[in-house]
Amino acid sequence: MFDAPNYENRFYIYESDVLYAFSVPMVYGLGSRYYLNVKYELNKNFSFWLKLAQTVYADDRNSISSNNEEITGRRKTDFRFLLRWKF
């Protein structure tokens, strides 16, 4: 959960991510953010990583971000998938 009244009081949150990636999302306002990481090895040559993250704002905003990245509503969902195949 986060509660930063305005942009000047924003939070940067480090999160674990899929292999070879990282994320440090920025949040402000009132809301919560959660994520789920899954790693599964099919065998010694194939493995995959999955990340599902969601930010839910509880304040009175009608959209998230602006311009080309604008999302209508109070919920932002991120999805990442990585498949590794060793030769």
Q: Where are the domains of the chain?
A: 2-85
Residue 65: predicted pLDDT: 85
Alpha carbons within 13 A on the beta-carbon side of 40: 6
CA distance 31 to 28: 8
pLDDT in tens, 38-86: 999 999 999 999 999 999 999 888 888 888 888 899 999 999 999 999 9
Tokens of 53: 């993250």
- b/e code 4-15 from CB counts within 10 Å (16+ = b): eeeeeeeeeeee
Length of the chain: 87
Stronger pLDDT, 61 or 31, i.e. the higher one:
31
Tally DSSP H helices, then E strands, for the chain: 0, 8
User: Which residues face 58 on adjacent strands?
Assistant: none
